[in-house]
Amino acid sequence: MKNLTDLYDKMIFEGSLQDDRGQRVILKELEKVHHAVSRSNAKSLFFKKTENLKGVYIWGGVGCGKSMLMDLFVKNLLVSNRRVHFHAFMQEIHKSLHKARGLGKNDPLAVVANKVIKNFKVLALDEMQIKDITDAMIVGRLFTLLLDGGVKIVTTSNRIPSDLYKDGLNRQLFLPFIDLIENQLNILNLATEIDYRKNKLRGAPVYFSPLDIDSRNNLDKLWIDLSGNESQDFHLTVNKREIKFPSYSNGVAKFTFLELCAENRGPADFLAIVDNVRVLIVENIPQLGRSNFNEAKRFTTLIDTVYEAGIVFICSAASQPEHLYLDGEGVFEFERTVSRLNEMQSESWGKGLTLSN
């Protein structure tokens, strides 16, 4: 069985990580869960101790390495496990609930939870946040069923548990879930002053033009640096329509221009996308004008949404912002888009941002 601390030290020695005291504190707690669930899988004498071992809730500022530590934990587990973004997990739960109800099951949520219990001993949920009342109303009983069924939960969040679903509709009905989290999981604050994800971007270009092999290679390199070149299954449902992210990893999303702007998307779609990422990469923005006016209009809405949200925007385009839209209706309005594209390239823009964990 691999020791997580030894693996962490190896990554530091190889130069892929910077030693961090705050991360080591979290690592020690993850090590306890790691050893316990691995031993219980071997049906050893430690099984009863595992029954009483709490899961882990890691919270802290964005960019501090929460997801990296959870990935290190999951990749070296010897038991059945699932690592998934919290939002994607809850969407899967809702779909399974809909199916169970359609089959006339007496307790659909219990049916759904039992399927998770049967398949996984450890559930690793990244970026826990509650924004939807439909999630808020079922998550308490769902987690109770999972924990009672012996599933060990490790989760990350940018918020302390008491701030989850803050100011949400009917929040008083959600408060028992906070009590459950605080009682059943070990609440750990990852305290560090280093924003690792932001450091990878500091001083780096984020706008690449023209659309040539150099631009493509530079964009690919940034994606690899920010995502580890790993993509997770992630999708959103907006007004009963599904938006599938072609490439997503820990708050970093990558789309082509056509995937975002050639389809019939409105402000609600762009707001939902931007609300769930900290870095948005858009490839192959073409020359805009009369021939693609509708796409250009959607692109303008996208940039307004990105700008207002204050996230990092990285792209490759046919030309520099000032020359991207020179002919056709909407040229005057596009001047604001040009201004915002230029502002989002500045290093001062990056200093005020919070990137994904």
CATH of residue 326's domain is 3.40.50
Q: Is residue 146 domain-resident?
A: yes
pLDDT band for position 353 (cuts 50, 70, 90): very low
Taking the CA atoms of residue 38, residue 42, residue 43 and residue 47 in that order, the dihedral angle to the nearest 10 degrees is: -10
Q: Give Dmax (Cα) for the chain.
A: 75
Domain stop point among 172, 189, 206? 189
Segment 339-354 mean pLDDT: 72
Q: Which of 105-114, 115-124, 162-171, 178-187 has the lowest mean pLDDT?
A: 162-171
Does one domain contain both 235 and 323? yes
166 and 226 part of one domain? no
CATH number of the domain where residue 109 is located:
3.40.50.300
State pLDDT tens for residues 96-139: 999 999 988 889 999 999 999 999 999 999 889 887 888 899 99
CA–CA dist 215, 257 (Å, integer): 15
Rounded CA gap, 145 and 153, in Å? 12
pLDDT at 276: 85
**324 lies in the same domain as 240:** yes
Tell which phi-psi region holds residue 167, choosing left (phi > 0), alpha (psi between -120 and 50) or beta: left
247 bridge partner residues: 254
Task: State the pLDDT at residue 201.
Answer: 58
pLDDT band at 146 (very low <50, low <70, confident <90, very high): very high
CA dihedral sign of residues 336, 337, 338, 342: positive
Q: Identify whether residues 215 and 245 lie together within a single domain.
A: yes
Question: Residue 225 — pLDDT band, cuts 50, 70, 90?
Answer: confident
Instruction: Report how far Cα 51 is from the mean position of its chain's Cα atoms.
Output: 30
Lowest mean pLDDT among 45-59, 124-138, 149-163, 246-260: 45-59
In which domain, by residue range, is 265 found?
A: 196-351
* Cβ-defined contacts of 256-262 (< 8 Å, 24+): 256/282, 256/283, 256/284, 257/282, 257/283, 257/284, 257/285, 257/286, 257/295, 257/299, 258/284, 258/295, 260/298, 260/299, 260/302, 261/295, 261/296, 261/298, 261/299, 261/302, 262/295
Please check whether residue 146 is in contact with residue 48, taking contact to mean a CB–CB distance below 8 angstroms. no
CA 122 to centroid of chain Cα atoms: 19
182/238 same-domain check: no
Q: Do residues 217 and 314 both lie within one domain? A: yes
Q: Rounded distance, CA 291 to CA 107, Å? A: 54
Tell whether 9 and 110 lie within a shared domain.
Answer: yes
Asked whether residue 181 falls in the same domain as residue 247, the answer is no
Secondary element (H or E) of residue 339: helix 331-343
Question: Mean pLDDT over all residues of the chain?
Answer: 86
Both structure tokens of 264:
């019939």
In angstroms, rounded to a whole number, what is the distance separating the alpha carbons of residues 53 and 72? Answer: 19
Query: Which of 158, 189, 220 is the last residue in one of the domains?
Result: 189
pTM of this structure: 0.66
Whether residue 321 is contained in a domain is answered as yes
Residue 22 near residue 69 (C-beta atoms within 8 A): no
Total of domains in the chain: 2
Q: Do 40 and 156 have their domain in common?
A: yes
Structure-model confidence comparison of residues 349 and 273, the more confident one: 273
Residue 44 pLDDT = 45
Q: How far is CA 266 from CA 24, 147, 189, 261, 301, in A?
A: 44, 40, 38, 9, 8
pLDDT single digits (tens) 29-51: 999 998 888 776 655 444 444 45
Last residue of a domain, one of 170, 189, 208: 189
Question: Does one domain contain both 179 and 305?
Answer: no
Lowest mean pLDDT across 40-54, 89-103, 166-180, 339-353: 40-54
Could you tell me if 234 and 177 lie in one domain? Answer: no
Q: Is residue 357 domain-resident?
A: no
